[in-house]
Amino acid sequence: MLVDLTILNIISFLLIFFIGLPHGSFDGAVASLVGFNNRTQFLQFILYYLILFFLVILFWLYFPIIALTIFIIMTIAHFGLCDWTHFNINKYKYSVSFTYGMTVIFGIIFFNENQSFLIFEYLTNNNIYLIQKYFFIPYFLTSLSIIYFIYLSFFEKKLRKGIVEIFFLLLFFYFFDPLLSFAIYFCFFHTYKHLKHLINNVYLNLTNKYFVIYSTLIFTAISWIGGLGIVYYLVQNLSLYESILKVIFIGLAALTLPHMLLVDIVYRRRFK
């Protein structure tokens, strides 16, 4: 089934590509912040990052369904941890993270199930509709987690604004298609929260502010040029829609693993 590239698709892709993806370009600054200080160490960091990036792409090419499943799990964890950090509390870490991560991913899928599975089919080149009937399980778990989140808000005032935020996110997911829903959250919620927390610590703890600017601009330019180049290559055999879809989401998966290891494991241990 071919999908036309609509105006909303184009807006979604542009938001993800030019706002969402580059937020990982701050990983150079994060690396410096957590100990990759001199040139040799920073080059080692880039090497490790690239190795993980290409390993994920290789794994996806050979095991697409497993890779998609792992990517969804990683995304739930990464989004959730970022949202928990934004509350600036030292408790309810796993409950809050699970609620936000599940709400974003399975909220989008629940309100746009057929469109979401069509995207999954494009990303895996497989008919994965057989597992669709089992998605009542994560839907049920998401509902339970939201109820528990509301319960926790009676004891932690900071979480009460989260109820409003979750409500509005679900409204977005209900009214918009999965790509635009994901783009709205990824660009205007996740990226904002991530950069707000990161920039504060970078400018408080790094003396070389110019390095932050230069490295971020260079990594952003590389991600844009590389992404556009791969789209140009894929479009020779695939539709433009499918080409962009693969570049953005498989590219996101490849970037998410090293990004999570750096941000959620190393960085958050020092800067909660």
Average pLDDT value over all residues in the chain: 90
CA–CA separation, 33 and 53 (whole Å): 21
pLDDT tops 60 at residue 1: no
Tell the burial category of 180 from Cβ atoms under 10 Å away from its Cβ (0-12, 13-18, 19+). buried
Interval 120-128 mean pLDDT:
89
What pLDDT, in 10s, does the model give residues 217-233? Answer: 888 898 889 989 999 99
Q: Give Cα 134 to chain centroid, integer Å.
A: 24
What pLDDT, in 10s, does the model give residues 20-37? Answer: 877 778 888 888 888 887
Sequence-ordered list of residues with C-beta below 8 angstroms from that of 175, at least 6 positions apart, any chain: none
Task: Report the pLDDT value the prediction gives residue 96, as an integer from 0 to 100.
Answer: 97
Q: Confirm whether 247 is domain-assigned.
A: yes
pLDDT tops 80 at residue 261: yes
What pLDDT, in 10s, does the model give residues 76-95? Answer: 999 999 999 999 898 999 99
Q: Confirm whether 229 is domain-assigned.
A: yes
Q: Are 106 and 142 in contact (CB under 8 A)?
A: yes
CA–CA separation, 109 and 173 (whole Å): 8
Provide the residue range defining the domain that includes 160: 7-270
Kindly indicate the confidence band of residue 182, based on its pLDDT and cuts at 50, 70 and 90: very high
- Among 116-125, 172-181, 187-196, the least confident range: 187-196
Written as six digits, the tokens of 126 are: 């497989």
Task: Report the pLDDT value the prediction gives residue 163, as an integer from 0 to 100.
Answer: 96
Q: Confirm whether 90 is domain-assigned.
A: yes
Q: Confirm whether 1 is domain-assigned.
A: no
Q: What percent of the chain has a predicted confidence (pLDDT) above 90? A: 59
Q: Are 86 and 147 in contact (CB under 8 A)?
A: no
Phi, psi angle pair for 126, to nearest 5° = -135, 155
Interval 130-139 mean pLDDT:
93
Q: What is the domain count for the chain?
A: 1
Q: Confirm whether 184 is domain-assigned.
A: yes
**Nearest residue to 257 via CA among 73, 106, 98:** 73
pLDDT tops 60 at residue 190: yes
pLDDT tops 80 at residue 200: no
Task: Report the pLDDT value the prediction gives residue 272, as an integer from 0 to 100.
Answer: 61
* Mean pLDDT comparison of 96-110, 128-142, 238-252, highest-scoring range: 96-110
**Nearest residue to 13 via CA among 239, 225, 241, 171:** 241
The residue type at 247: V
CA–CA separation, 47 and 43 (whole Å): 6
Q: Confirm whether 214 is domain-assigned.
A: yes
Q: Confirm whether 2 is domain-assigned.
A: no
Q: Confirm whether 250 is domain-assigned.
A: yes
